[in-house]
Amino acid sequence: MVGVFSKGQGRYMKKKFSGWMLVAMMLVGMIVGFQGRNLISADNIYEQLKKFQDILVLTDKYYVDPVETRMLTDGAINGMFDKLDPHSVYIPPRAFERTSEEMQGNYQGVGLSIRALNDTIIVVEPMGGGPAAKLGILANDRIVRINDSSAVGYTADQASKKLRGPKATKVKVGIARPGVQDLMTYEITRAEISLTSIDVAMMVNGETGYIAVNKFNQITNEEMVKNLRDLRSQGMKRLILDLRQNPGGIMEEAVKMADLFLDGGTKAKPKQIVYTKGRSADMEENYLASTGQEYEKLPVIVLVNNASASASEIVAGALQDWDRGLIVGETSFGKGLVQRQWPLGDGSAFRLTIARYYTPSGRLIQRAYEGKDKSEYQREAFERNEQEGDNLQHKKDASLKGDSSRPMFHTNSGRVVYGGGGITPDYIVKSPAATESFANLQRRDMFYQFVTSYLDGQANSLRSTYGQDMKKFVRTFPVSEELLGEFRSFVKTKGVTVEEKDIQKNLPYVKARVKAEIARSLWGNNGLYSVMLEVDVQFQKALTLLPEAAKFARAE
């Protein structure tokens, strides 16, 4: 789960700490937290550090088998974090490298989304505007050579390492394209590639814009403003903002997003977006909205679900508390802790919880975690027993499992909302529950694998028929009984068992997933979402509630 960084921590701190200093800091935290001391002497810090050092040295010298001391140190650090909250975490070097790229929003490479399938590297999507896309590399192409080496049998990570490199350097890629006999060779000049935090931004009808945000990194607000302006130029008069599955990210970017839709209030009553409280006053922040954004009266609905966390909950909570828009979907994860991130000298890092954050009404949305292991804590967010329907007065909140004692707060208009358990929607709409055998189709990635095989023979014909006309494809392409039969046969060849009654029960979704994967191959995420939103019950409910959201916008 991506943490929320406090002010200034989108940029990593320049000072780096050794593993030993980290151990010392964590020991201090444990002693303060679990022995109840307000102060601890430097002698005690180094006494605990000396104990750990003695154990590590003696283990390295006398253990019956050779030991890897780095592994032991990492294990000790992880053990210490297990005694803290669920979101304080140690990040090994390779994971930290990836996380840094995600948060910074860029890397240097060729701009290809790839995956390994049956020992072959397949292009899922060439990133728009990237060097690979400009040269004409297409979705479903197979990368069989990188420079002078065969790429057959590579994992996605291995291929990615070969394709990445400093900008302005070159890499040669051999492409096998279904329907083309000869190997195609491309020489790609690497460039700075933006890792977009917005999956899709498009008009879903003449007046309604839709934006799906997958995380909050350093370029999220920049992307958001650009996409809002593009949609406004296309006639957008209302917006559905999709924060489902968004685990969070940088706090300041969430504040900026909320501020796009909130005015600054008055001098006597300025509008707060979020505030934090920590053990140290240095860790406390108060973020206020400003007036002057062109979207402050735009009707907006925010979609959330149980995987919407952290920065996503800041946005949803601020708009809900100020009665600025409607929240639709399922109760969010419930992460109200702020982490600060410190890089370490060996390329690893750690995130430490330094504060709690609160919505404008005073809600701490963090779920209780004391006395629970991390798996139990994670699982609880997905096991709520929610009642569907109108929840504008939040009378359904009390029905949530284990939430009967949640503290009560009030929105700007006096509506009741509750703290201590995530952001509960104003309209609760559950995602349809899938049977186990049908869920297995998704876990085994059968839809993507089938469409990859299908496109080997049909991609050129589809491109010829539909060209750039995505709307025509969405409107007219049939998922016929013949195509469904091919899908059933393909699934059987992969040894995946699914009962026919399960396929029939989920038939609209099965057809949509097959069609959506084809559309993604041709038009990227715009194609995927254009199809899947038609069978998305939470999105469809949001469409019907837009007139209600307009009332909120006028009253605000």
Burial of 382 (0-12, 13-18, 19+ CB in 10 A): exposed
Q: How far apart are CA 304 and CA 256, in angstroms?
A: 18
Picking from 409, 414, 495, 408, the residue whose alpha carbon sits closest to that of residue 449 is 495
Measure CA 50 to chain center.
Answer: 41
d(CA 548, CA 153): 54
Single-letter amino acid code for the residue at 10: G
How far is the CA of 321 from the CAs of 145, 250, 284, 317, 388, in angstroms?
Answer: 54, 21, 21, 6, 21
Selection from 386, 526, 503 nearest residue 450 by Cα: 503
Distance CA 63, CA 41 (A): 33
| Eight-class DSSP state of 351 | E
Catalytic residue check, 233: no
Say if CB 40 and CB 27 are below 8 A apart: no
Residue 243 and residue 230: Cα distance in Å, rounded?
20
Q: Quick one: DSSP state of residue 182?
A: S
DSSP state for residue 397 in the 8-state scheme: G
DSSP3 helix / strand / coil % (the chain, rounded to 5): 40, 20, 40
Q: How far apart are CA 271 and CA 111, in angstroms?
A: 41
Evaluate whether 513 touches 527 at the Cβ level (below 8 Å): no
The Cα–Cα gap between 353 and 371 comes to 17
Active site residue 100: no
* 310 catalytic per annotation: yes
Q: Which two tokens stand for residue 280?
A: 């140290």
b/e per residue, 391-401, with b = 16+ CB within 10 A?
Answer: beebebbeebe
The catalytically annotated residue of 88, 197, 308, 310 is: 310
Among the listed residues 476, 467, 534, 508, the one whose alpha carbon sits nearest the alpha carbon of residue 205: 534
Among the options 242, 321, 323, 502, which is catalytic? 321
Name, in order, each residue with C-beta under 8 angstroms of 20's C-beta and a sequence gap of 6 or more: 49, 53
Q: Which of 256, 335, 396, 511 is catalytic?
A: 335
User: What residues are annotated to the active site?
Assistant: 310, 321, 335
